[in-house]
Amino acid sequence: KQGLMAGKRGLVMGLANDKSIAWGIARALAAEGAELAFSYQGEALKKRVEPLAASLGSSLVLPCDVGDETTIDTLFQSLQDEWGSLDFVVHAIGFSDKDQLRGRYADTTRDNFLMTMDISVYSFTAVARRAAAMMPQGGSLLTLTYYGAERVMPHYNVMGVAKAALEASVRYLAEDLGKDKIRVNAISAGPIKTLAASGIGDFRYIMKWNELNSPLRRNVTQEDVGNSALYLLSRLGAGVTGETHHVDAGYHVVGMKAVDAPDI
Ligand code: NAD
């Protein structure tokens, strides 16, 4: 195989269907010659993920529910047996009770707070530790976050708090693993219509708002995120770690969009 990722092997976690951000990333990596393994959450997703993986020439499709330490161990044991080492991991996983992705953050329950932090934050650390043990030559780890970590966005609520913790974990992991030449970064993606996003209240309105108010006057695509992921996961990103890189058509830099000034 030829390309920027030729000879590189990596795990993609969080593929649910062809709308998933993980799918945009997987396609960009495969197009540059990467060899991919995929993990899926539960039996119901297996039949969706297998054909997608096969279309990229991958037959290593393994179950893993990140809420369960034993399934994470089993996944990494399988990768150890199959490949022996790893070059990169993509973590495109997040979850919260959708009833709490609307209304007030103040009403978040303790149970959902802990579950959201467990699945959306701790899982990246749990995965990073095991992946690092399989990266004797160094490697690159990537997770997905959203601007709701930095600023209040409608309905994002407990997910915003979780993403803030995830972004902080990226910085701590970058320091812990940097000595071993392992880089750790996040992409903060603009809103994209996926299964997970459909759980967020008024998502269509949020997308329209981003389209109208971002410097590029458009929403980002799976391909945009995939190409930036390629940069962070390949040698092109060799000097970058601990970073939250915005792939959001520039939305995060805008305080207020210019309009034809009304007479005040
Ligand atoms: P998606 O629904 O396609 O992917 C979410 C994935 O998380 C699914 O594959 C699901 O199976 C997996 N998952 C949930 N709980 C899990 C568990 N316990 N164990 C294993 N896997 C589990 O949606 P997406 O939008 O592609 O989400 C991917 C990542 O991108 C998430 O972290 C999300 O927060 C982030 N993100 C999404 C957007 C957006 O607008 N879509 C923007 C910024 C960041």
Query: Tens digit of pLDDT for each residue in 142-187?
Result: 999 999 999 999 999 999 999 999 999 999 999 999 999 999 999 9
The predicted pLDDT at position 195 comes to 95
CA distance 66 to 50: 19
Predicted ipTM of the assembly:
0.99
CA distance 191 to 159: 14
The predicted pLDDT at position 231 comes to 98
Question: Given pLDDT bands bounded at 50, 70 and 90, which one contains residue 264?
Answer: low
Query: Tens digit of pLDDT for each residue in 78-123?
Result: 999 999 999 999 999 999 999 999 999 999 999 999 999 999 999 9
Query: What is the amino acid identity at position 154?
Result: P
CA of 245 to the centre of ligand 1 (A): 18
Give the DSSP letter of residue 201: T
CA of 39 to the centre of ligand 1 (A): 13
Beta bridge partners of 12: 38, 90
Give the DSSP letter of residue 261: P
The predicted pLDDT at position 262 comes to 67
Atom nearest to 15 CA in ligand 1: 9
Q: Is 156 a catalytic residue?
A: yes
**Which of the following is catalytic: 40, 105, 122, 146?**
146
Atom nearest to 66 CA in ligand 1: 19
Nearest to 188 by CA among 251, 236, 121, 262: 251
- The answer to the question of whether 187 is labelled as a binding residue is no
The CATH number corresponding to 9-250 among 2.40.50.140, 3.40.50.150, 3.40.50.720, 3.40.309.10 equals 3.40.50.720
Question: Given pLDDT bands bounded at 50, 70 and 90, which one contains residue 260?
Answer: low
The predicted pLDDT at position 258 comes to 77
- Taking residues 66-78, report their average pLDDT: 98
Query: Tens digit of pLDDT for each residue in 35-62?
Result: 999 999 999 999 999 999 999 999 999 9
CB 91 within 8 A of CB 144: yes
CA of 98 to the centre of ligand 1 (A): 13
Percent pLDDT > 90 in the chain is 94
- The answer to the question of whether 194 is labelled as a binding residue is yes
**Which of the following is catalytic: 105, 122, 147, 156?**
156
C-beta atoms surrounding 205 within 10 Å: 11
- Taking residues 197-204, report their average pLDDT: 89
Q: Dig out the tokens for 87 from the structure.
A: 């070059």
- Taking residues 59-86, report their average pLDDT: 98
CB 219 within 8 A of CB 209: no
Nearest to 93 by CA among 113, 74, 67: 67
- The answer to the question of whether 14 is labelled as a binding residue is yes
The predicted pLDDT at position 201 comes to 84
Candidate from 12, 15, 20, 203 with most ligand 1 atoms within 8 A of CB, to mutate: 20
The predicted pLDDT at position 112 comes to 98
- The answer to the question of whether 46 is labelled as a binding residue is no
Which of these ranges, 9-18, 206-215, 254-263, has the smallest mean pLDDT? 254-263
Is the shortest distance between the CB of 93 and ligand 1 below 6 Å?
Answer: yes
- Taking residues 189-205, report their average pLDDT: 93
Is 228 buried (19+), middle (13-18) or exposed (0-12) by CB count in 10 A? Answer: buried
Q: Does residue 263 have a pLDDT over 80?
A: no
